[in-house]
């Protein structure tokens, strides 16, 4: 198992480690207020951000160990491998014998670390907030490990093995010859309505932070790319004029979300998140991830993952000249801006 400390984080390796979670099974461990090891099985794990490296998971308010996890400064997330079904069952049960027969090692903070997992993330608790009948825990990953073991999957009330699908999988095409009229099943309408429905669940949080949809969109771009000029923003937002982008950036600057840095080398100023912007953007991103998790649960995780897969394929097949937000484009310019 290759060890990665925070000083040697490789974003691709970190993304690969997060990718081992396939609607799978995790065990969260920590040290209780009485100094004893605590742990439980959870399937609400999700990634929040690659930079800073943040993850989240949730715990029911009625859970026995809730106050111990609330008080914990450090905890670990273990993505179980396919041969750890018994361990999953053991940590899912109540009682104090969860570590019976388990031989964990201790982290530098005393957190019990399970071995031979598909992946493991050692985290510092960053913040917590209420999400309905659950508490959402967000933590910064300080260290992680990844194995090549296939992950344990829980689907339809049963454990399962994860297998890769053919990348060229496509649903069968319709053969009917319907008249060319506007219909509720037209792809453009469905994608637009789905986007609206998804954003509606976030809008109350944006408005409470004094943000509109477009300001949030620009903030997520800065959160991903770190340093951008207005003309770079224009590349990512071809549906908006440069004047609109400049006005929105100035609004965000006046609200304290971003900072403008002069840079003669690029010929125009660059924009980056302020300290407030980093904290509040990550907090809103965690809320967005929580909403996504809730929607995936309502759909059923299998259908939710299929939807993501098909949307990703649709994006790849229809990608125009707009740059991919997660590509390495502008990397040199970003470095020049730092």
Query: Which has the closest alpha carbon to 139: 192, 202, 235, 73?
Result: 73
If asked whether residues 127 and 221 sit together in one domain, one would say no
What gap in Å lies between CA 186 and CA 316, rounded to an integer?
19
Give me the pLDDT at residue 16, please.
66
Domain assignment present for 171? no
Give me the pLDDT at residue 237, please.
67
If asked whether residues 8 and 156 sit together in one domain, one would say yes
**Token pair listed for 262:** 């002069």
| All residues at 6 or more sequence positions from 31 whose CB lies less than 8 Å from its CB, including other chains | 37, 38, 72, 74, 109, 110, 111, 112
How many separate domains does the chain show? 2
If asked whether residues 98 and 236 sit together in one domain, one would say no
If asked whether residues 214 and 139 sit together in one domain, one would say no
If asked whether residues 119 and 40 sit together in one domain, one would say yes
What gap in Å lies between CA 223 and CA 282, rounded to an integer?
8
263-297: b or e for each residue (b if 16 or more CB lie within 10 Å)? beebeeebbbbbeebbebbbbbbbbbbbbbbbebe
Domain assignment present for 166? no
Domain assignment present for 174? no
The CATH number covering residue 196 comes to: 1.10.10.10
Domain assignment present for 84? yes
If asked whether residues 52 and 130 sit together in one domain, one would say yes
If asked whether residues 150 and 226 sit together in one domain, one would say no
| DSSP-based three-state secondary structure for 202 | helix
If asked whether residues 288 and 231 sit together in one domain, one would say yes
Spans of the chain, pLDDT less than 70? 1-9, 15-23, 43, 95-96, 155-183, 237-239, 263-266, 301-302, 320-338
193-232 pLDDT, tens per residue?
888 888 888 888 889 999 998 899 888 888 877 777 888 7
The last residue of one of the domains, among 161, 178, 198, is 161
What gap in Å lies between CA 132 and CA 224, rounded to an integer?
28
Domain assignment present for 263? yes
In which region does residue 319 sit, left (phi positive, over 0), alpha (psi from -120 to 50) or beta (all else)? beta
Q: Which run of H or of E encompasses 235?
A: helix 230-236
Domain assignment present for 317? yes
Domain assignment present for 169? no
If asked whether residues 123 and 211 sit together in one domain, one would say no
Q: What is the three-state SS of 15-56?
A: HHHHCCCCCECEEEEEECCCCCEEEEEECCCEEEEECCEEEE
If asked whether residues 29 and 154 sit together in one domain, one would say yes
The CATH number covering residue 58 comes to: 2.30.110.10
Write down the residue that tokens 């299998």 correspond to: 302
Query: Which has the closest alpha carbon to 129: 208, 17, 36?
Result: 208
Domain assignment present for 178? no
Give me the pLDDT at residue 159, please.
62
Write out the residue range of the structural domain in which residue 266 sits. Answer: 187-337
The last residue of one of the domains, among 161, 178, 195, is 161
If asked whether residues 13 and 152 sit together in one domain, one would say yes
121-145 pLDDT, tens per residue?
999 999 898 877 789 999 999 999 9
The last residue of one of the domains, among 110, 127, 161, is 161
If asked whether residues 326 and 197 sit together in one domain, one would say yes
């Amino acid at each position: 198992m290759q060890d990665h400390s925070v000083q040697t984080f490789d974003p691709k390796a970190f993304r690969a480690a997060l990718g081992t979670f396939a609607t799978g099974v995790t065990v969260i461990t920590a040290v209780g207020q009485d100094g004893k090891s605590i742990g439980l099985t959870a399937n609400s794990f999700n990634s929040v951000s690659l930079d800073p490296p943040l993850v989240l998971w949730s715990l029911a308010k009625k859970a026995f160990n809730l106050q111990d996890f609330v008080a914990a400064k450090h905890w670990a997330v273990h993505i179980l491998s396919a041969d750890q079904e018994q361990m999953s069952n053991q940590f899912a049960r109540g009682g104090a014998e969860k570590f019976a027969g388990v031989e964990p090692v201790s982290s530098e903070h005393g957190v019990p670390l399970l071995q031979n997992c598909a992946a493991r993330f050692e985290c510092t608790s960053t913040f917590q907030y209420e999400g309905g009948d659950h508490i959402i825990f967000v933590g910064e990953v300080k260290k992680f490990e990844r194995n090549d073991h296939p992950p344990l999957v829980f689907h339809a009330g049963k454990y399962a093995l994860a297998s890769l699908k053919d990348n060229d999988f496509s649903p069968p095409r319709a053969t009917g010859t319907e008249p060319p009229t506007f219909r509720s099943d037209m792809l453009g309408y469905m994608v637009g309505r789905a986007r609206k429905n998804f954003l509606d669940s976030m809008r109350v949080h944006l408005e409470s932070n004094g943000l509109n949809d477009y300001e949030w969109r620009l903030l997520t771009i800065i959160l991903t790319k770190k340093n951008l000029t207005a003309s770079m923003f224009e590349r990512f937002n071809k549906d908006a004029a440069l004047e609109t982008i400049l006005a929105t950036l100035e609004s965000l600057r006046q609200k304290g979300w971003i900072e403008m840095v002069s840079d003669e080398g690029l010929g125009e100023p660059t924009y980056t998140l302020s300290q407030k912007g980093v904290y509040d953007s990550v907090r809103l991103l965690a809320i967005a991830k929580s909403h996504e998790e809730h929607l995936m649960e309502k759909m059923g995780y299998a259908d939710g993952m299929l939807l993501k897969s098909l949307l990703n394929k649709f994006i790849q097949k229809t990608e125009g000249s707009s740059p991919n937000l997660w590509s390495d484009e502008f990397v040199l310019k970003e470095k020049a801006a730092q």
